[in-house]
Amino acid sequence: MSVTTSKTFLSAFLKTLGMLFLYIFVGLFIDSKYVVINYQESQWIANALMIFIFSIVWLKVTIKVRELMLYAVIIGYVGEYLFSVGLGMYTYRLENVPHYIPMGHALVYIGVLYFIKTFYVKLNRKLLEKIFTGIIIIYALAFLVFKNDVFGFVLTAATLLILRNKPRERLFYLTMYLSIVFLEITGTSYECWEWPSIAWDYFTFLPSANPPSGISFFYFGLDLGCLWLYKQRHKIAWSRMKNIRFLKK
């Protein structure tokens, strides 16, 4: 059975986000401070593994998705150097930008994309939106109350506010939010990177947890950037698709 024909939540999850989460858990452990302290510097292994996994996924997806993956990597590199190196929003263990990170952004993007395209998710879209929204609100409130995560809470509120008027994109970003929660908690627990106690280590009125809860807000930029680049390359096809959508309304 293909990914898109998955008829249960478990099947849809395991074939998309489950595989993604497993790789995040193992891949980030390789670059963890624990491995470095007890064995040796291992970031190069994490980079090599990412290239291998990225290549396998690249060969299995469609031409369109390959193009989106490429754009996600490019935007990932720009974003990482801007926010981490340039603005000091967070800091990686070696104070660099590991090569596996931008490619990892692409895998997260594609993993979420394939999850929302499964048969089960399409059939239960509204239900999943309600469940995911509830989980996100509880998570952000818990971080606000127990970790004084004002920064993350503000980003979460902004995300949910924007998604109120974005029914087509809503489930994608809600799923992205939860995927980034797993990614960030895993990465910071392994001490692969660290967030400062206030936003950008500058805004004292925005205390932050490590990690802040709503940091997936910045993935709006990744998605919008990928779509913009794709539109520029395929203007005629994109225009035709918009006309088809309009006629279906």
For 2-51, what is each residue's pLDDT tens digit? 577 788 999 999 999 999 999 999 999 999 999 999 999 999 999 999 99
CA distance 109 to 163: 17
Crossing angle (nearest 10°) for helices 170-189 and 100-116: 140
Q: What is the largest CA-CA distance in the chain?
A: 61
Does the pLDDT value for residue 249 go beyond 80? no
Does the pLDDT value for residue 144 go beyond 90? yes
CA distance 150 to 206: 5
Q: Please, which pLDDT band fits residue 227 given cuts at 50, 70 and 90?
A: confident
Q: What is the mean pLDDT of residues 71-94?
A: 95
pTM reported for the whole predicted model? 0.92
CA distance 167 to 234: 24
Q: What is the mean pLDDT of residues 55-75?
A: 94
State both tokens at 99.
């090569």
pLDDT given for residue 7 in this prediction: 84
Q: Please, which pLDDT band fits residue 236 given cuts at 50, 70 and 90?
A: low
pLDDT given for residue 244 in this prediction: 46
- Closest by CA to 173, choosing from 193, 195, 188, 158, is 158
